[in-house]
Amino acid sequence: MGCRIRRFEPGFVHSAACRCNDRQFLFRPNHNPHNPLLHATCPANALDPDNDHIPVPSVINVIGASVGRALLRHPVALNWFEANLHHEHDGFTPSDDTRERVPQFFRDAHSLVAREINRCLGRENHVYGGRYRAEPCLDDASAEQQLVYAMTNAVKDGQVERVSQSPFFSTFRHLAYGEPLRFWYIDRTAWWRKGGPRPGNREKDHLKWVEFALAPLPGWEGLTVHQRRTRFRRLVKRAEETAARERKVDGRKVAGVPSLRRLDPRSRPGDPKESGRQPLCHASDPVLRRRFELEWREFLRAYRAASIAYRCGDFGVEFPDGSFRPPLVTMYTASAL
């Protein structure tokens, strides 16, 4: 799906993914074992306002604070958000009122992540290797499958044995036990307004907290909070058991958290997997998938016809719902001197 003809389906869970530039290990775990919101080089009490320790965020906190700040600016129904060594998996459910905010949310979240990751690593290159890709889940079963796939990605890749052991940013404990998603950031705009790096103007004095919560899957809205968490834990446990059996058959072992922490963030997989073709949608029922394919073809046909008319000068042509008008290239000429 081209970026200008992406169409978010209101009311359907969308599964999204985005990888780091050149698949570098930019999300490698680097947190303090006693405080996962701080860098490993930071004392565990660096967030205490009564001391002069300068807090440095971990990758976990960078991603969490960035997502929370983007949600404050562009509220969307976020269902999950998971990170791995060099990519992320996200889930969201747009509505008629919020679907136009989805690109804005990802733009701000990824921009904030990129700035802080580069600041921590002392680099200036791109963090993300391209735009995010998102596909709708046409039924409750496919939405659950994508949620569990994202949550157990580190287990499936042989990095840890259980999701609870993941050293990456994860919304698992929020979904499984209701633990709050609360992270911190330095308001550098306010810091610079107070004079920046001048005596008496500590960055820590401009530290702020942001907290957010995830929206339940549409298919789980009829369940109580306890039922949702129980069902989620059972689905994850079942996926962990399946992954353990597959590792045993293949004779593979997990890498373990210590090995993940020793990785160079500028490294990349020695034998990277090639990205497969992006699916048009996710569905457990082939009939639903086929129906969506036919509707998508009709959408593309209507969009292309409107695009041609628009580029030919019919600026009042109506585009199909959920699409954007193509850019117009304006040419300026000047007479010879």
Span 24-37, mean pLDDT? 96
Assigned CATH topology for domain 14-270+278-284: Alpha-Beta Plaits (3.30.70)
Neighbours of 153 (CB within 10 A): 22
User: Looking at the predicted structure, is the pLDDT value of residue 298 above 90?
Assistant: yes
pLDDT of residue 211: 97
CA 167 to CA 156: how far, in whole Å? 15
Higher pLDDT, 184 or 203: 184
What confidence tier does 335 reach under pLDDT thresholds 50, 70, 90?
A: low
pLDDT tens by residue, 300-327: 999 999 999 999 989 999 998 878 788 8
Report how far apart the first and last C-alpha atoms of the chain are (Å, whole number). Answer: 46
CB burial of residue 322 (10 Å; 0-12, 13-18, 19+): middle
- Which of these ranges, 51-55, 176-180, 325-329, has the smallest mean pLDDT? 325-329
pLDDT of residue 278: 85
* Alpha-carbon separation of residue 115 from 141, 202, 234 (angstroms): 37, 20, 37
71: alpha, beta or left, given left = phi > 0 and alpha = psi -120 to 50? alpha
User: Looking at the predicted structure, is the pLDDT value of residue 332 above 80?
Assistant: no
pLDDT tens by residue, 99-154: 889 999 999 999 999 999 999 999 998 999 988 999 999 999 999 999 999 999 99
Span 147-166, mean pLDDT? 95
Instruction: Find the helix or strand (DSSP H, E) in which 83 lies.
Output: strand 77-83
Q: Any residues with CB less than 8 A from the CB of 271 and at least 6 apart, and which?
A: none
pLDDT tens by residue, 52-109: 898 999 999 999 999 999 999 999 999 999 999 999 999 999 998 998 899 999 999 9
Angle at 20 between CA 255 and CA 8, to 5 degrees: 115
pLDDT of residue 276: 73
pLDDT tens by residue, 228-278: 999 999 999 999 999 999 999 999 999 999 999 999 999 988 877 777 788
User: Looking at the predicted structure, is the pLDDT value of residue 200 above 70?
Assistant: yes
Total-model pTM: 0.90
CA 10 to CA 188: how far, in whole Å? 36
Instruction: Find the helix or strand (DSSP H, E) in which 153 lies.
Output: helix 153-156
Instruction: Find the helix or strand (DSSP H, E) in which 25 lies.
Output: none
Burial 185-219 (b: 16+ CB within 10 A, else e): bbeeeebeeeeeeeeeeeebebeeebebebbbbbe
Q: Tell me the two tokens of residue 181.
A: 């998603």
pLDDT of residue 1: 35
User: Looking at the predicted structure, is the pLDDT value of residue 180 above 90?
Assistant: yes
Q: Any residues with CB less than 8 A from the CB of 168 and at least 6 apart, and which?
A: 27, 29, 59, 60, 82, 83, 84, 85, 154
Q: Tell me the two tokens of residue 144.
A: 């659950």
pLDDT of residue 2: 36
The one-letter code for the residue type at 27 is: F
Angle at 209 between CA 208 and CA 215, to 5 degrees: 145
Q: Tell me the two tokens of residue 264.
A: 């160079």
Higher pLDDT, 200 or 31: 31
CA 241 to CA 255: how far, in whole Å? 17
Going by the DSSP 8-state scheme, the letter that residue 177 receives in this structure is H
Domain boundaries, the chain: 14-270+278-284, 288-337
CB distance 61 to 210 below 8 Å: no
- Tally of CA atoms within 13 A in the half-sphere of 9 that contains its CB: 17
CA 11 to CA 108: how far, in whole Å? 23
- Tally of CA atoms within 13 A in the half-sphere of 244 that contains its CB: 10
Span 173-202, mean pLDDT? 93
* Alpha-carbon separation of residue 18 from 151, 161, 296 (angstroms): 15, 24, 23
pLDDT of residue 3: 39
Q: How many residues does the structure list for the chain?
A: 337
pLDDT of residue 336: 56
